[in-house]
Amino acid sequence: MGEILGIGCTHAPMLQFPDENMADIVRRYIKNERMPAKMRDPRNWPAPMQEEWSNDEGLSAARRHRAELLKGFRAARAKLDEFKPDFIVIWGDDQYENFHEDLVPPFSVYAMDSIPTAPFKMSRVMLATRNVWNEPPDQIIDIPGHKQAGLFLAEQLINSGFDVACSFELHHAKTIGHAFIRTVLFLDYDRRGFPYPVVPFHVNCYGKDLWWNKHDGSQLPAPPAPPPWRCYDLGKQAARILRASPWRVAVIGSSSWSHGFLTKKNYELYPDVEADRARFAELANGEFGKWRDLDTEQLRDSGQQEMLNWLCLAGAMEGLRPEVLAYSETYIFNSTKTVVAFPVAA
């Protein structure tokens, strides 16, 4: 019988770049002519946001934000190394990277023995000119996948009534999406090497907002994202399948929660911190089963589209209580971020 370790984390780009660049998204948005004039002035921001921005444009807050999250990622890596998984399943989203207009599956398992990645690629939402490791941004590095496990998981889910796609190669992208590689990168932030094969598991988190950065009115809405209950139930079934397998598996839900640039009611400037607090309280109290009853439009209203990755993890970890390894609340760094680990379950 298999065993499962569960981890929840973020793949936000901020940790990849220097502290001086962590608030770049806010800098870009306050220069955007689409932003109401009053919101370009920090004096009109919520008080906690002004406090973070302070007189150094968030530099001191960035250092605290990084320190808290690195504490969490290092603790998560220690748990991975202790567990020694045969492979890792990562639930992550695609932001118009591998899937375009011709194909947008709700779910897709990548069954590949070798996965091309561009771990140090620059971010289109950051103004940074270098990463924190001073690595060349155009490097292509293959990381190990697990074709057999990916195909097995897809087959068993389909036989269970979950119509997931299975990708044996990349479609539009030349390298795997940032949600997956940044998860690996941050779990190996200290560059000790990452020996665990990865099975990326795409979730169409963005749904109708897949074209969120296209403002010319030329696009019809994309298909909706799978509802929270479906993601929860898929994760629950995936855990049953993996527990019945001969493998030791780590499952990871990777995303921040509310994203400022998706939270229209906050002018796309800062996240719905209150909604994230509610979700965090439910998580910390072991009441994340309530997430199954969340509404898709409720998530969209709060900019929490990417929480669907954590919904899959929540289903897989039903009945368990997580250990909170890091929690950093923020207004100016696009999203509050959380790192947790669940006890190993057989």
- Number of CB atoms found within 10 A of residue 242's CB: 23
Which residues form the domain of 74? 3-341
DSSP letters spanning 59-128: HHHHHHHHHHHHHHHHHHHHHHHHH--SEEEEEEE-SSSS--TT---SEEEE--SEEEE-TTPPPTT---
For the chain, 346 residues long, give each residue's pLDDT as a single digit of tens.
789 999 999 999 999 999 999 999 999 988 888 889 999 999 999 999 999 999 999 999 999 999 999 999 999 999 999 999 999 999 999 999 999 888 999 999 999 999 999 999 999 888 899 999 999 999 999 999 999 999 999 999 999 999 999 999 999 999 999 999 999 999 999 999 999 999 999 999 999 988 765 655 556 778 899 999 999 999 999 999 999 999 999 999 999 999 999 999 999 999 999 999 999 999 999 999 999 999 999 999 999 999 999 999 999 999 999 999 999 999 999 999 999 999 998 7
Domain count, the chain: 1
SS3 161: coil
What value does the CA radius of gyration of the chain take, rounded to a whole number of Å?
19
Residue 346 in any domain: the answer is no
135-168: pLDDT as tens digits = 999 999 999 999 999 999 999 999 999 999 999 9
Report CA-CA distances (Å) from 102 to 205, 208, 209: 17, 15, 16
Residue 113 in any domain: the answer is yes
Position 213 scores a pLDDT of 59
Helix residue ranges per DSSP H, 244-306: 273-284, 296-301
Residue 331 in any domain: the answer is yes
Residue 301 in any domain: the answer is yes
102-134: pLDDT as tens digits = 899 999 999 999 999 999 999 988 889 999 999
Residue 208 in any domain: the answer is yes
Position 221 scores a pLDDT of 78
Structure tokens at 206: 């963005």
CATH code for the domain in which residue 329 is found? 3.40.830.10
Residue 10 in any domain: the answer is yes
Handedness of CA 273, 278, 281, 286 (dihedral sign): negative
310-344: pLDDT as tens digits = 999 999 999 999 999 999 999 999 999 999 999 99
Residue 324 in any domain: the answer is yes
Residue 106 in any domain: the answer is yes
